[in-house]
Amino acid sequence: MGINGKSYIVGIYEHPCRAALDKTLPQLHAEIAKGALADAGLSKDDVDAYFCAGDAPGLGPINMIEYMGLNNVRHMDSTETGGSSYIVHVNHAAQAIAAGHCNVALITLAGRPVADAKEGKPVRYYNQQAPDFPFEMPYGPNVTNMYAMCAMRHMYEYGTTSEQLAWIKVAASHHAQYNEHARLRDVVTVEDVVNSPMIADPLHRLDCCVITDGGGGIVMVSPEVAKSLKRTRVKVLGAGEAPKHLAAGQVDLTYSGARWSGPKAFAEAGVTPADIKYASVYDSFTITVLETLEDLGFCKKGEGGKFVSDGNLISGVGKLPFNTDGGGLCNNHPGNRGGMTKVLEAVRQVRGEAHPKVQVRNCDIALAHGTGGLLGSRMGSATVILGNEAA
């Protein structure tokens, strides 16, 4: 069953906090849900479907459904693919609405890694029962060096440079200066990036995303409900999701699961990369953006370095404005999960509600993409394409 035009995003909310020392994780989810529903002009009693991932405390969605007083839920989904979960949820909610399982779907993400760290709580938990654990953990992988391997390999294969990667951070910083809630608002240069401390060769500190508390929420509805609301509605045109893994040792570190999720989303939406006016791209590290743009078809494989250079990703300057809220590199990466904020800024762009300094003119079609897991090992990629009423 196709989803093109069968559901709408009518409410969004991004929590303004970046350090939630005075809030619990359930509180963050509840505040986010309230904000998203208020934006849509709906109440919690209108919600008949709830979607969350592993960041939600409790048994899947059940504890949060009770905590938030969602008494009319008849459909729920706790699909977990890391940072891409919330783009997967948009796809699954669109499918559920199209199939008639629900009419008003609420999706929430919340996290407090900054507060947890200050309180002495573990920031991340790795399942030691995972089948890959005993084979890989003895070699000391961590998040940064797994992405660094991808960057190094891309440089070896295609001649990509640290300066080219730096342009991705530069573009994000140009956008973040206009976001009052962004974690990092200072505009940086290529020289600033490549001269920042090396974290895992060849990735510098400014190649890495921020760590923040907070989160975000989305409300999706059926066409019938959308027509009854006054809020500007954003149509879900197409979506795709796909895993990528190490294939028992047949490893290629230069591409991501976007190689498969992107074409499916484009096909369902009936558009091509050339039709996209704005792109929200998961930016855990600069290399994540570069490989994803190649895999989504915005440039040929190996030409990502050239494509992102010289301001090509800066709104009002380049051909493909990206992450106009500052992205994970500068603005917000709540709970170490960046997919939700990618959808939120894409919705703002299609609505025409991004900051005036970064709003893309005539933004009728936008893309949001998430990468969950690790680019250097196994991941869940998800792509969604959104449009205005005329799209």
What is the rounded CA–CA span in Å between residue 91 and residue 87?
Answer: 7
Distance separating alpha carbons of residues 184 and 115, to the nearest angstrom: 18
Q: What is the pLDDT of residue 146?
A: 95
> What string of pLDDT tens digits covers the 391 residues of the chain?
799 999 999 999 999 999 999 999 999 999 999 999 999 999 999 999 999 999 999 999 999 999 999 999 999 999 999 999 999 999 999 999 999 999 999 999 999 999 999 998 875 556 788 898 888 889 989 999 999 999 999 999 999 999 999 999 999 999 999 999 999 999 999 999 999 999 999 999 999 999 999 999 999 999 999 999 999 999 999 999 999 999 888 889 999 999 999 999 999 999 999 999 999 999 999 999 999 999 999 999 999 999 999 999 999 999 999 999 999 999 999 988 999 999 999 999 999 999 999 999 999 999 999 999 999 999 999 999 999 988 7
3-state class of 211 per DSSP?
Answer: coil
Q: Rounded to a whole number, what is the largest CA-CA distance in the chain?
A: 57
Q: Write down the CATH superfamily of domain 8-121+213-235.
A: Thiolase/Chalcone synthase (3.40.47.10)
171 contacts 314 by C-beta, under 8 angstroms: yes
What are the residue ranges spanned by the domains of the chain?
A: 8-121+213-235, 133-211+237-387
> Quick one: tokens of 120?
């002495």
Q: Look up the pTM and report it.
A: 0.97
What is 133-211+237-387's CATH topology?
Peroxisomal Thiolase; Chain A, domain 1 (3.40.47)
CA distance 284 to 147: 9
Structure tokens at 327: 């992205």
Sign of CA dihedral 321, 182, 91, 7: negative
Does this chain's domain 8-121+213-235 share its CATH topology with 133-211+237-387? yes
Four-CA torsion 343, 345, 349, 355, nearest 10 degrees: 170
151-155: long-range contacts (C-beta < 8 A, 24 or more apart)?
151/202, 151/203, 151/207, 151/285, 151/286, 151/287, 152/201, 152/202, 153/253, 153/254, 154/253, 154/254, 154/287, 154/290, 154/291, 154/304, 155/202
pLDDT for residue 126? 64
Query: Strand ranges (DSSP E) for the chain?
Result: 8-14, 49-51, 75-77, 104-111, 198-200, 203-204, 214-221, 234-244, 278-281, 365-373, 379-387
Round to whole Å and give the CA distance between 72 and 133. 40
Model pLDDT, residue 125? 56
